[in-house]
Amino acid sequence: MSLVKKVRAVASLVPFWFKANSNGTLSTTESLLSFALNCPGIHSMQVKSEFLEFASIVKRQKPKAFLEIGTRNGGTFFVLCRLSDPQAIVISLDLPGGQFGGGYTPFQVPVLWRMKKPGQQLHLLRTDSHSAEAKLRTEQALNGSQLDLLFIDGDHTYDGVKKDFEMYSPLVKTGGLVVFHDIVDIPGPEFGVQRFWNEIKCGYQHQEIIENPKQGWGGIGVLHF
């Protein structure tokens, strides 16, 4: 990344840095989502109506431990942190230079630390989610706890999303949620989330959050364990 791009990227994070701890303007689910969707530095890649419904589910669940696979800009991770238990274990698993989003850069790490609530335990794992090391480090971060929420938004290939599910869903407790992003039909042979979602959803109580089946991206699938 050139110096000019780095300066622009850092500048885009300034609004988040100063507003993230504002209890007055970011005290509702709607204000959190609006900020995450519109703040350039952390811009969340979500369809607004889908994000709002998903956020309402998370707010009711109030996870004490969650794992997000695929953090990118951090907007969705920010919302998940703020809607989780004040003492929650919050884990981001993200691949630098990955095909789907590319991962966050080192200078964004202080911003991600600012996303959590003061009492939450944050773990930033910058590695391949499909590696044995990633699974081990996730288990170490949980320290004997189980996940209330697993949000899968990393490798969007069929084999990739399947492997993320098979590796990390055993860490989800009974009554927890496994959530997939981009379950609509996205053009291109490299996208296989919809295919895997359609194969697995009928084995669980599930719900689909989709504004428009023809929108070409987005869509959130929720499995109830």
What's the pTM?
A: 0.92
pLDDT of residue 183: 97
The pLDDT averaged over each successive group of 10 residues in the chain (225 residues) is 58 68 69 89 92 97 97 92 96 80 72 92 95 97 98 96 98 98 89 96 97 94 97
pLDDT of residue 129: 96
Domain boundaries, the chain: 3-224
pLDDT of residue 39: 87
Instruction: Give residues with Cβ within 8 angstroms of 218, minimum separation 6.
Output: 46, 47, 50, 181, 182, 184, 210, 211
Rounded Cα distance between 123 and 64, Å, is: 14
Element (H, E) at 13: helix 3-19
Angstrom distances, CA of residue 96 to CA of 56, 90, 102, 110, 222 = 30, 19, 6, 16, 26
Q: Are strands 147-152 and 121-126 parallel, antiparallel or unpaired?
A: unpaired
Structural fold of domain 3-224? Rossmann fold (3.40.50)
Which residue has tokens 């695929």? 70
